[in-house]
Amino acid sequence: MKSKEENLLNEQGETKVLDSSCWQFMQATIENLSQQQIDQAQLQKLSPAALAYLGDAVYELYVRMYYLLPPQRSESYHRLVVAQVRAETQALHLRSLTPHLRHSELEIVRRGRNATTGRPKRLDPEIYQQATSLETLIGYLYLTDQPRLTELLQRLQLEK
């Protein structure tokens, strides 16, 4: 029997089981990376851009681990991951998560959106702001509430 943490929601809201070994590896990685806790005073000193910087790395690691099984060629991994870490896809993910966010999380999203400076020329500024907001939220939750981060990441509708 699978634990509730090993279940993912698909776009119809149905439960999908994540391979147990992949899930255990992901959990161990998150625990090992987060051994260094940050206190509230240090957290307040971090800019939304710094949280987005961290969130970008955490998000990409999650996506890479999601696609790790079944084994594939490097080119396939790359194609799948790039499709998910694009700003346009991140903006879609933020919009899908917004109804599930708490008030405090919406405030972090707002801070991330307002802190956005510059953007790639190919992107609509709103898309870039939303992508940065998602990364800010992920970085913040990584430092403050990893079970909540896991819950939200599992809601993402990544395509296989």
Catalytically annotated residues: 56
What three-state secondary structure class fits 57?
Answer: helix
Burial classification of residue 102, based on how many CB atoms lie within 10 Å of its CB (0-12 exposed, 13-18 middle, 19 or more buried) = exposed
- Integer Cα distance of 107 and 114 in angstroms: 11
Sign, Cα dihedral of 126, 12, 55, 22: negative
Token readout for 70 is: 């079944």
